[in-house]
Structure 1
């Protein structure tokens, strides 16, 4: 079975490579890069590195406050998007009217890699929708990344406020960072957080901080919206029906041979 997925992925790599124009700049306009919100008094809460088990807590906190978040999912980072639980989490976020977006397949630095189409195909299989937005890992991009994103009709999104959860900030420290940005009261905020981030057996989870952050931001007069809402653009390139043929997590194992 693993051999089947290796062969299937080999074919996918070949077809994806030939699908890209040789002269990217002449064939397609480069992707737009969004670094901040554009509508005054809005805040876009974004969450990277999922889908993880804490997504249910994160979405509950958002829905309890009538807020919308944007989830930048990986294909195979903390888990395989085709695994039963991860696929269920992606579908749940989509069905709960949260915005789903791409954070690439394996969270590699895109400036040193060739193009990767697989995470978009996973989204379409699981939800029927193809995201219109992507976030490059570590926020790193170059002209090659923007060219490929442009071909795929994606908008690149970074951030202008980091909650610090992925770099070891404690819950107390993260709350103080939200306090500080609210005190400065910029016109808009585009925040970076993570569903879950592990570091030497110590777990730092966004959902512990999220209710506090929502309360502070709302109290300061910010409207909490998705990335697509504040830009006034569709969240998806197209929306259809999810695939009735499921993929196995073996696909992720096969892909790791090529991606790692």
Structure 2
């Protein structure tokens, strides 16, 4: 059983189908949950809910500052991940060294779903990322930050770690630009050893007003702005292969 679990994600990639072993048949193998970075003097800027139109602007702002970010993407939330525009955005970020990770397929609350449906939400976006970039993500962020033992077990057998955050810009709650800036300023003033932030790629003011301030403020406080993988000292992907070629399966 252990040997099967260890290779399960790669078997799934080979089969190209959703395969969820019975929850009752598996020993507990809950995913590790990270709420903080572990490498001192690092800060991770993360962005949920894309790929969206502001991904280009976010990447350009990070690149200009010599920084890296992490994008937790959905498969079919604001737009279909297989749309030409979405594919181009993902490749743009990935090719420039920014990290892509799973935010599941349709942004459902995983704690309300059955074992099989949890796996479907996870696998469909993983499959899409492998087709588009060739990379199998090593990290998953559950929508709304909600998870239970079933979610952790499902992530664990897929070889993924779960990432939450310790600083929320509150952009998804309707925070004003100044409120989000104040939150970044406050955490920089407290100067914890590390910072793991939550932002949303889909909010225009985050990309164009809050992010430039956050980059400047955190770097001036001495933090290196890195990906989740770098701030945890772990690989960003479980495997990296050649991307796929678009065919009839590239659809939502």
Give me the TM-score of the superposition, normalised by structure 2. Answer: 0.87
Look up the SS of the partner of 1:238 in the other structure: strand
Give 1:62-73 correspondences, 5 Å limit: 62-73=62-73
Call closer, same or farther: CA 1:44–1:151 in 2, change over 3 Å: same
- Residues 41, 223 of structure 2: 8 Å contact kept: yes
Give 1:178-193 correspondences, 5 Å limit: 178-193=184-199
Determine if the alignment matches structure 1 residue 42 to structure 2 residue 42.
yes
Look up the SS of the partner of 2:144 in the other structure: helix
Shift of 1:247: 4.6
Call closer, same or farther: CA 1:135–1:151 in 2, change over 3 Å: same
- Residues 39, 233 of structure 2: 8 Å contact kept: no
Determine if the alignment matches structure 1 residue 156 to structure 2 residue 157.
no
Call closer, same or farther: CA 1:130–1:176 in 2, change over 3 Å: same
- Residues 44, 195 of structure 2: 8 Å contact kept: yes
The answer for the alignment partner of 1:172 in structure 2 is 178
Look up the SS of the partner of 1:23 in the other structure: helix
The answer for the alignment partner of 2:76 in structure 1 is 76
The answer for the alignment partner of 1:205 in structure 2 is 206
Determine if the alignment matches structure 1 residue 16 to structure 2 residue 18.
yes
Shift of 1:186: 1.2
Structure 1 residues without counterparts, runs of 5 or longer: 1-14, 198-202, 253-260
Shift of 1:233: 1.1
Give 1:219-230 correspondences, 5 Å limit: 219-230=220-231
Residue of structure 1 aligned with 2:124, choices 118, 124, 135: 118
Distance 1:86 1:247 in 2: 16
Shift of 1:209: 1.0
Give 1:85-104 correspondences, 5 Å limit: 85-104=85-104
Call closer, same or farther: CA 1:165–1:65 in 2, change over 3 Å: same
Distance 1:162 1:204 in 2: 15
- Residues 35, 196 of structure 2: 8 Å contact kept: yes
Distance 2:128 2:248 in 1: 9
Distance 2:200 2:51 in 1: 10
- Residues 71, 100 of structure 2: 8 Å contact kept: yes
Q: CA RMSD in A?
A: 1.5
Residue deviations 1:131-175 (CA, integer Å, cap 9, x gap): 100100010000000001011101100000000111101111111
Distance 2:45 2:25 in 1: 32
Distance 1:62 1:248 in 2: 33
Aligned residues: 230
Give me the TM-score of the superposition, normalised by structure 1. Answer: 0.84
The answer for the alignment partner of 1:130 in structure 2 is 136
Of 203-212 and 213-222, the range deviating more from structure 2:
203-212
- Residues 101, 140 of structure 2: 8 Å contact kept: yes
Structure 2 residues without counterparts, runs of 5 or longer: 1-16
